[in-house]
Amino acid sequence: MSPKTLTPIVGTLLLLLSAWSPPMQAQPATTTALASDQPAAVRPGDNLILDGIPAIPGTIAERANRYTESRGAQVFAWHPQRRELLIGTRFADTVQLHEVTQPGGARTQLTFFPDRVSGAHYHPHAGDYVVFSKDIGGGEWYQLFRYDCATGDTELLTDGHSRNLGAVWSNHGDRLAYASTRRNRADLDFYVMDPSAKASDHLVATNSGGGWAVADWSPDDHTLLAMEEVSVNESYLWLVNADDGQKRALTPKGAEKVAYTPVGFSADGQSIYVLSDRDNDFKRLARIELATGRPEYLTREPWDVERAVLSPDRHLLAYLVNENGISRLHLLDLKTARSLPLPATPAGVITGLVWHENNRELAFSLDSARSPLDAWSVDVMAGKLERWTRSETGGLKPETFVEPELIKWPSFDGREISAWLYRPNAKKFAGPRPVIVTIHGGPEGQARPIFLARNNYYLNELGIALIYPNIRGSTGYGKTYVALDNGFQREDSYRDIETLLQWVKQQPALDGGHIMVTGGSYGGHMTLATATRYNDLISCSVEIVGMSSLVTFLEHTEPYRRDLRRVEYGDERDPKMREFLERIAPINHVKELKKPIMIVAGANDPRVPKSEADQMAAALRGQGTPYWYLAAKDEGHGFAKKKNADFQFYTTILFAQKYLLPSVNPL
């Protein structure tokens, strides 16, 4: 999408299950000594609900504390008149807006909210104010705010109730367009406003569905380029008149389902640049003439082009290629159609490409197994690469963190599946190592070799090997692969995990008798499916904000996302599909779940509602399976506040020591 886009940057999708009756009341965030010679026990705050969780020994927090003190820096925007960056980073409990005035400079905090700021952009050309996005309590009902750079005052721009996404500045910088569910909480309509005059906000076009987004303004600021997403494999492009809301379809429906990601208009406004998997298994960069609709493909990499941004003058285009999880940055001169050389960036995953208005400097964030997310920039004319931030790692030496290796194994049907394997230091930890398998969310997501933060504790201190699989349904491996788990094929993804567990048991360096499975969001659903289907192959599981039944999930997830999820999971209103989804639902196989399980949930989760956790907990309560339950009243789809994430981390360590590493004394 356009570099002028303001899109909420949400963290990793870790979905947690909720409380049931009658939960143990959480205690204030105070401490109680376990014994005179031991650190005080870790106690939760009043915002947390616990059931079945024993006291957390203070020794766990004391030993693991350093692993909670890493942070990152997400690039949001360049100042339009100065060489300064606006970033999102955390000093206290949540990510807030910060300003960095030079590479290596101090981070000056601008906002101080109890909830995280998810995206921001300066007022183009002037830089006198910032428009930023923020929700409350993890509910993802994002609101737009105006921050005055001179006074520090903040003003709410949207209605305070709806979900507002993807604000995009006009070329003149006098208006921004965005999508909002204001009309009915379900459909994303298009609105336009001048943020300096809140009363100018007005509806431009109504839409049907929750997959609509604004991508760019035409050079004359009369037309919007928009996307209608039906699924990860199917989307459509539209032109929308910014004055009267009239829409024109650019990519009509055909026999082939095609995914388009709009990039922006050409300098003359006669064509658009897009990412598309049309006539190909991977997304390519293409130019489409508006008059004819014919695409011209500009890249030929055998991997997805996952992100592209136009320079403000629309003469340069930077793009990222996802090469088996590693980001490769490229630059294209659109006047000559030639690739331009760039200095090599460190191997890792790049996000947040943002051009400066000088049309030569490109900022981005990059992280890797040995480096947290940090802000970088490259001067594309001088070929100069600079690192703007060096995020802390709690005093731990980044060079000592484990680099992953790519492993592959054949699944039940002979299809090759891959994963990232992190092995503990063999000199420190002898013998076969226990394993934690972490399944990513989505399911249209991808496990990539990024900074593990807290999870380095399991490697470095407990000697546990970590495996992050990319089972069928994952992105990054082509549109055929991503569709292999849709609808009635759902069980095939479960079987991919079964074959991974069998593969682990065959590895002499891994302890196949001690395996824990975990995951968030869809990874939480996969965790429950694994725990109920393959109970004998694992030792325990930690399920985070996952779906215990795809039927009840689809019935209760927020209306704006329901149809998008039905394309992936199947329509529960269809009798045959409903029967299938009921048959495979983990909640209907809970009696097979005999191994200990920990369940985590956010009470404000709009994606996977709290009820998914409640029904699983209620079913477990009466059958004797050991279970721990943790929920936060002030969180949504995963714990974003540090104090909550820390308590979850310490609890998970104790759970792993008790059920995955029974020989370890948690005290």
Tens of pLDDT, residue by residue over 173-213, are: 999 999 999 999 999 999 999 999 999 999 999 999 999 99
The set of residues, in sequence order, having a beta carbon less than 8 Å from that of 554 and lying 6+ positions away, is 562, 565, 566, 569, 571, 572
Cα–Cα distance measured from residue 336 to residue 425, given in angstroms and rounded to the nearest whole number: 50
Identify whether the C-beta of residue 312 lies closer than 8 Å to the C-beta of residue 292.
no
User: How does residue 256 score in pLDDT terms, banded at 50, 70 and 90?
Assistant: confident
Residue 14 lies in a domain: no
- Phi, psi dihedral angles at 303 (to 5 degrees): -140, 170
User: How does residue 617 score in pLDDT terms, banded at 50, 70 and 90?
Assistant: very high
- 7 pLDDT more than 80: no
The type of residue at 370 is R
Local structure of 499: helix, strand or coil:
helix
Nearest residue to 466 via CA among 407, 543, 415, 529: 407
Question: In the chain, how many domains are there?
Answer: 1
- 478 pLDDT more than 80: yes
Q: Cis ω on the peptide bond leading into residue 443 (within 30° of 0)?
A: yes
Chain mean pLDDT for the chain = 92
Residue 611 lies in a domain: yes
Residue 29 confidence (pLDDT): 36
Taking CA atoms, 387 is separated from 73, 325, 367, 373, 452, in Å, by 11, 22, 12, 11, 20
Residue 8 confidence (pLDDT): 43
- 634 pLDDT more than 90: yes
* CATH number of the domain to which 57 belongs: 3.40.50.1820
CA angle centred on 612, ends 607 and 615, rounded to 5° = 170
- 308 pLDDT more than 80: yes
Identify whether the C-beta of residue 325 lies closer than 8 Å to the C-beta of residue 306.
no
Query: For 123-149, how does the pLDDT look when each residue is reduced to its tens digit (9 = 90+)?
Result: 999 999 999 999 999 999 999 999 999
Identify whether the C-beta of residue 547 lies closer than 8 Å to the C-beta of residue 609.
no
Percentage of the chain modeled with pLDDT above 70 = 94
Q: What is the mean pLDDT of residues 494-510?
A: 98
Residue 435 lies in a domain: yes
Q: Which residues of 263-302 are buried (b: 16+ CB within 10 A; e: fewer)?
A: bbbbeeeebbbbbbbbeeebbbbbbbebeeeebeebbebe
- 46 pLDDT more than 50: yes
**Tokens 């599909």, residue located:** 577
Query: For 62-97, how does the pLDDT look when each residue is reduced to its tens digit (9 = 90+)?
Result: 999 999 999 999 999 999 999 999 999 999 999 999
Identify the residue with better confidence: 87 or 21. 87
The type of residue at 294 is R
Contacts 24+ apart (CB under 8 A), 79-82: 79/122, 79/127, 80/122, 80/123, 80/124, 80/125, 80/126, 80/127, 80/356, 80/357, 81/125, 81/126, 81/127, 81/357, 82/127
Please state whether beta strands 223-231 and 234-241 pair in parallel, antiparallel, or not at all (unpaired). Answer: antiparallel
Q: What is the mean pLDDT of residues 394-409?
A: 94
Query: For 427-474, how does the pLDDT look when each residue is reduced to its tens digit (9 = 90+)?
Result: 999 999 999 999 999 999 999 999 999 999 999 999 999 999 999 999
Percentage of the chain modeled with pLDDT above 90 = 90
Residue 120 lies in a domain: no
Identify whether the C-beta of residue 140 lies closer than 8 Å to the C-beta of residue 176.
no
- 356 pLDDT more than 50: yes
User: How does residue 4 score in pLDDT terms, banded at 50, 70 and 90?
Assistant: low
Residue 24 confidence (pLDDT): 30
- 14 pLDDT more than 60: no
Residue 618, domain extent: 24-68+398-567+597-659
Q: Which tokens go with 420?
A: 């990232």
The type of residue at 446 is Q
Residue 29 lies in a domain: yes
Query: For 102-129, how does the pLDDT look when each residue is reduced to its tens digit (9 = 90+)?
Result: 999 999 999 999 999 999 999 999 999 9
Question: Which stretches does DSSP call E strand in 391-471?
Answer: 405-410, 416-422, 433-439, 465-470
Residue 308 lies in a domain: no
The conformational region for residue 623 under phi > 0 = left, psi -120 to 50 = alpha, else beta, is alpha
Q: Cis ω on the peptide bond leading into residue 124 (within 30° of 0)?
A: no
The set of residues, in sequence order, having a beta carbon less than 8 Å from that of 229 and lying 6+ positions away, is 211, 212, 213, 235, 564
- 37 pLDDT more than 90: no
Q: What is the mean pLDDT of residues 222-237?
A: 96
User: How does residue 666 score in pLDDT terms, banded at 50, 70 and 90?
Assistant: very low
Nearest residue to 373 via CA among 451, 439, 436: 451
Residue 664 confidence (pLDDT): 58
The set of residues, in sequence order, having a beta carbon less than 8 Å from that of 139 and lying 6+ positions away, is 604, 606, 636
User: How does residue 15 score in pLDDT terms, banded at 50, 70 and 90?
Assistant: very low
CB atoms within 10 A of CB 489: 13
Residue 6 confidence (pLDDT): 58
Q: Which tokens go with 417?
A: 């599946």
Residue 616 lies in a domain: yes
641 CA to centre of own chain: 16
Residue 146 lies in a domain: no
Identify whether the C-beta of residue 538 lies closer than 8 Å to the C-beta of residue 601.
no
Residue 30 confidence (pLDDT): 39
